[in-house]
Amino acid sequence: MVRRRRMTRAYTSDPVDPAVLERALDHATRAPSAGFSQGWAFVVLDTPDTVGGFWSAQTDAAGPDGAPDRWLAGMMSAPVVVVPCSRRAAYLDRYAEPDKRRAGLHEHDESRWAMPYWHLDTAMAALLLLQSVTDSGLGACFFGLVPGRVEAVKDVLGLRDSAQEEAPHPIGAITIGHPAPRATGARGSASRRRRTPWREVAHRGRWGAGWSGQEA
């Protein structure tokens, strides 16, 4: 259920049922994608070693000498981390096919694209994954990679360009597990900010019209 999904920032030590994880990945691949390019990939970390390697790449505070703050300690308690990655090359290849070539988007020139659909579509897939985990009764949190640590994360995940292929790009990461009591983890931005009601962001007909059509 959409309204039940909230980011979970601390987890119990209960393992994640592989069937839940596999269903969430299956649901993620039901996301829409431009030209049905499906330019996403998911690096799934579900062992203490691989999860630990990810956190060490993300931040020095995760190491033996580190002092994780409340947020990091809670997030590091997740038994599973999924890293959704976007594959730009899949779009350039797809838009070079006969039915799409006319659009001229297959050139290696991002400015020709109205927006980078590879990131957009991967984000849509990530949301379906979050929703699926929620519907299975577990918790998840999407979070951004630390700026300056993206290359280290790519290294530890094996995301390196080869002569044949541009490496997928991690758009963020998702922790997954059984939620610990809410008070355990860090409180996210949503605890400090008001959720904007839809009537304040929907504009009927044109920007600025608002929903009732009476606004200036």
Ligand X SMILES: Cc1cc2nc3c(=O)[nH]c(=O)nc-3n(C[C@H](O)[C@H](O)[C@H](O)COP(=O)(O)O)c2cc1C
If the CB atoms of residues 105 and 121 are measured against ligand X, the closer one turns out to be 121
| Rounded Cα gap, residues 18 and 82, in angstroms | 13
- Return the residue of 167, 188, 209, 211 that touches ligand X, per CB under 6 A: 188
150 lies in the binding site for ligand X (CB under 6 A): no
Q: Which is nearer to ligand X, 139 or 168 (CB)?
A: 139
Q: Which is nearer to ligand X, 190 or 202 (CB)?
A: 190
SS3 154: helix
- Does 211 interact with ligand X (rule: CB under 6 A)? no
Cβ atoms of 170 and 81 within 8 Å: the answer is no
189 binds ligand X (CB under 6 A): yes
182 binds ligand X (CB under 6 A): no
CB 11 within 8 A of CB 116: no
Whose tokens are 């994954």? That residue is 129
Q: Which stretch binds ligand X (CB under 6 A): 2-10, 21-29, 94-102, 131-139?
A: 2-10
The rounded Cα 109 to chain-centroid distance in angstroms is: 25
Cα gap 158→142, rounded to integer Å: 21
Binding stretches for ligand X (CB under 6 A) = 6-7, 9, 141-144, 172, 188-190
